[in-house]
């Protein structure tokens, strides 16, 4: 008895070829998807003014100019030091004053007239 509903070898081969075609199509679509996502990210970066938007261009990193800081003079360094010392002294004083104040949210720190 022969079973005629079994697939022939040529049907198996056609099915394998069909699967391979689908795999290749899927790979191509995924590659296109990543390219589109990269382009979308670049456009979003340009809209935000992001630096990453420039990195998607075809410019090698060595060709981009590096940001150079101007060296501070000794007088500028001294002035900044003075400003920062004053800033941190004020910050430390405000933190100390804040620590000495009673906690208004706790019953211990509330005065009876406030209730």
> Does residue 1 belong to any structural domain of this protein?
no
Looking at residue 107, its pLDDT comes to 62
Q: Is the dihedral of CA 52, 53, 59, 63 positive or negative?
A: negative
- pLDDT tier at 65, thresholds 50, 70, 90: confident
Q: In this model, does residue 3 exceed pLDDT 50?
A: yes
> Does residue 112 belong to any structural domain of this protein?
no
> Does residue 109 belong to any structural domain of this protein?
no
Mean pLDDT of the chain: 80
Looking at residue 72, its pLDDT comes to 92
- Domain range holding 25? 11-61+76-103
Looking at residue 2, its pLDDT comes to 55
> Does residue 5 belong to any structural domain of this protein?
no
> Does residue 54 belong to any structural domain of this protein?
yes
Q: In this model, does residue 57 exceed pLDDT 80?
A: no
* Statement: the pTM of the whole predicted model exceeds 0.85: no
> Does residue 4 belong to any structural domain of this protein?
no
What digits encode the pLDDT tens for the residues 67-99?
Answer: 888 899 999 999 999 999 999 999 999 999 888
User: Which of residues 20 and 108 earns the better pLDDT score?
Assistant: 20
> Does residue 67 belong to any structural domain of this protein?
no
- At residue 13, the 3 state secondary structure works out as helix
User: Structural domain tally of the chain?
Assistant: 1
> Does residue 51 belong to any structural domain of this protein?
yes
Looking at residue 53, its pLDDT comes to 46
Question: Burial level of 56, CB count in 10 A (0-12/13-18/19+)?
Answer: middle
Looking at residue 11, its pLDDT comes to 78
């Amino acid at each position: 008895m022969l079973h005629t509903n079994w697939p022939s070898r040529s049907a198996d081969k056609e099915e394998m070829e069909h699967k391979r075609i689908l795999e290749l199509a899927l790979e191509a679509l995924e590659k296109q998807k990543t390219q589109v996502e990269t382009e979308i990210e670049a456009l979003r970066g340009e809209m935000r003014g992001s630096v990453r938007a420039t990195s998607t261009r075809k410019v090698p990193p060595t060709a981009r100019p590096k940001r150079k800081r101007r060296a501070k003079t000794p007088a500028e360094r001294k002035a900044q030091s003075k400003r920062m010392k004053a800033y941190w002294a004020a910050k430390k004083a405000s933190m100390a004053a804040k620590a000495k104040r009673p906690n208004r949210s706790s019953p211990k720190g509330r005065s009876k007239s406030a209730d």
